[in-house]
């Protein structure tokens, strides 16, 4: 069984968590100035990489809190987790460029 480390509770079984999509996406502030294509890109287009992926997860059967994670999409191995609002590990900043 896969083990995921909640930043508040520590390591827990995978079944306690739910996936929340790609992490690091900021809602545009100027939505009235966006074209339909730009708005559609924000809503629907995701990176879907083969390799390291910045994701959001929720400890649904535990503390209920959301957090960020860096996971490898081929091996499923989590490289790290961190709280919302905390600075991400350096490797995540490189992924989001």
Chain residues that interact with Zn ion, rule: CB under 5 A: 6, 8-9, 59, 62-63
Q: Which is nearer to Zn ion, 54 or 59 (CB)?
A: 59
Cβ at position 65, least distance to Zn ion in Å: 6
DSSP 7-73: TTTEEEEGGG-EEEEESSPPPPS-GGG--HHHHHHHHH-----SSEEEEEEE-TTTT--EEEEEEET
Cβ at position 55, least distance to Zn ion in Å: 16
Cβ at position 12, least distance to Zn ion in Å: 7
Q: Which is nearer to Zn ion, 8 or 39 (CB)?
A: 8
What is d(CA 59, CA 75) in angstroms, rounded to the nearest whole number?
A: 21
Q: Both ends of the chain: CA-CA distance in Å?
A: 33
Q: Which is nearer to Zn ion, 65 or 72 (CB)?
A: 65
Q: Which is nearer to Zn ion, 21 or 64 (CB)?
A: 64
């Amino acid at each position: 069984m896969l083990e995921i480390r909640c930043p508040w509770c520590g390591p827990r079984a995978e079944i306690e968590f739910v996936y929340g999509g790609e992490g690091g996406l900021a809602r545009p502030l100027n939505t009235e100035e966006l074209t339909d294509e730009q708005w559609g890109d924000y809503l629907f287009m995701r990176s879907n990489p083969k390799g390291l992926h910045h994701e959001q997860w929720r400890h649904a059967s535990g503390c209920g809190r959301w957090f960020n994670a860096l996971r490898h999409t081929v091996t499923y191995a989590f490289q790290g987790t961190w709280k919302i609002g905390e600075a991400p590990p350096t490797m995540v900043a490189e992924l989001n460029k």
